[in-house]
Amino acid sequence: MRPLAAATLALAVGACGPPDPFARALVSFDEGAGAGFGQDALPAVVLGPPQGGAASQGSTDVLSLGQGGVIVLELGTVVEDGPGPDLLVFENPFVVATTGEVYGEPGEVAVSEDGASFATFACAPAAPAPNGCAGFGVVHAAADNGVDATDPEAAGGDAFDLADVGLARARYLRISDRGAEAGMSAGAPTAGFDLDAVAVVAR
């Protein structure tokens, strides 16, 4: 496990800038067992818009958290609670051709206004999706395909509503891999939840 220096990373990616619907700073990353994929591209690999591969294949523009790994991101704009979903989380699930089932790895999502106190969305990783966890919504949005990554009706990914955890607004997001509880056992370097991107829903 290795936490990253929040201040250094924030300066590296320009945490003071115009509003951005995506993550703009990596606050910390505690890698779990079997992590490694995507670390050479940190922090950029988890910032900005998703690079979805749609139903047939998951994106490879991801960071594998490892078993039990935890990442905290600062969003480029404050998430305000409004009607319907407020936040989208993008992993790299895909549809298994032989069964038609979605293969995804569960991640527990939590949000915070101050970066210190987090409210956690209910997540039951061993239950069939939708189960409250991120990691099962096929990602349709990509930088070059014209799909709006802030539109929950088109972008894909997994949607979260701040009202479900009793918050009016949030600026930080934490994702914790919960794959072991679902029987996931991928080996290094791709173990755990594979984070592509996060997005604040456009109003």
Residue 168 lies in a domain: no
Residue 116 lies in a domain: yes
Residue 134 lies in a domain: yes
What 3-state DSSP class applies to 164? helix
- Print the domain residue range for 103: 6-10+19-158+176-200
Write out the chain's pLDDT in tens, 203 residues: 444 544 334 434 444 556 799 999 999 999 999 999 999 999 999 999 999 877 777 789 999 999 999 999 999 999 999 999 999 999 999 888 888 888 889 999 999 999 999 999 999 999 998 999 999 999 999 988 889 999 999 999 999 999 999 999 999 999 999 999 988 877 899 999 999 999 999 97
Residue 167 lies in a domain: no
| Residue-by-residue DSSP string for 101-160 | PEE---EEEEEESSSSS-EE----TTSPSSSS-BS-S-B---TTS---TT-TTTSBSEEE
* Residues 154 and 141: beta-carbon distance below 8 Å: yes
* Residues 63 and 48: beta-carbon distance below 8 Å: no
Residue 148 lies in a domain: yes
Tens of pLDDT, residue by residue over 27-42, are: 999 999 999 999 999 9
The total domain count for the chain is 1
